[in-house]
Chains A and B, each alone.
Chain A
Amino acid sequence: GEDVEQSLFLSVREGDSSVINCTYTDSSSTYLYWYKQEPGAGLQLLTYIFSNMDMKQDQRLTVLLNKKDKHLSLRIADTQTGDSAIYFCAENDNNDMRFGAGTRLTVKP
């Protein structure tokens, strides 16, 4: 089947930028998504990008999409300790959504 891949761990210092990367394989996906999961909680939709866009910015979050390389990234500017969580990349795949394994972001003070 189609896979969404992302690295499992990322560690940054407070105040630095974080970049979480994802590759996907289904070129027919209409939307691509980033979800955030805080400890002990479900997933929360953080942001999404339509497949005909290259970039989307929302306050400290920047999503970049390279459709040719099927590469999606999430940049968090001025990373804070409250940003520590697991971040999931996802693509819509016909009638459901396909998720990556999640990247655990650790923010060190």
Chain B
Amino acid sequence: DVKVTQSSRYLVKRTGEKVFLECVQDMDHENMFWYRQDPGLGLRLIYFSYDVKMKEKGDIPEGYSVSREKKERFSLILESASTNQTSMYLCASTLNVEYGYTFGSGTRLTVV
């Protein structure tokens, strides 16, 4: 069964901390994505990556960065966490966008 695994289901961090959210897929997909999900706003794209060491900004990249050192792993980094980054973070991957995405279970991050 193909999988996208996000390392943490729940995370609580303090304002100003550097936060790493990890995502690993076992499907040899080139394309990986990070979204945040907020009530009434749906999914908003933060960053995506087409290949190793490659990254592109999505719709809301401010306050975030990413790392893709290996094909299977795509990390989202909050350089200095703020309370407005409290959200559900979803990672997804695909071989081809037209095939649809496979999502991880999500990481619910609370910044206090």
Q: Interface of A with B (CB < 8 Å)?
A: 1, 4, 8, 30-31, 33, 35, 40-45, 48, 88, 92, 95-97, 99-102
Chain A residues lying within 8 Å of B4, measured Cβ to Cβ, are 42
Separation of A92 and B50 alpha carbons in the complex (Å): 15
**A96-B45, A96-B48 are contacts. A43–B90 as well, Cβ < 8 Å?**
yes
| Chain B interface residue bracket vs A | 20 to 34
Judging by beta carbons under 8 Å apart, are A42 and B41 in contact?
Answer: no
Within the complex, the shortest CB–CB distance from B110 to chain A, in Å, comes to 15
Q: Interface of B with A (CB < 8 Å)?
A: 4, 9, 31, 33, 35, 40-43, 45, 48, 50, 58-59, 90, 92, 97-98, 100-106
Judging by beta carbons under 8 Å apart, are A99 and B100 in contact?
Answer: no
Chain A residues lying within 8 Å of B45, measured Cβ to Cβ, are 96
Within the complex, the shortest CB–CB distance from A100 to chain B, in Å, comes to 6
Within the complex, the shortest CB–CB distance from A28 to chain B, in Å, comes to 12
**A96-B33, A96-B48 are contacts. A88–B100 as well, Cβ < 8 Å?**
no
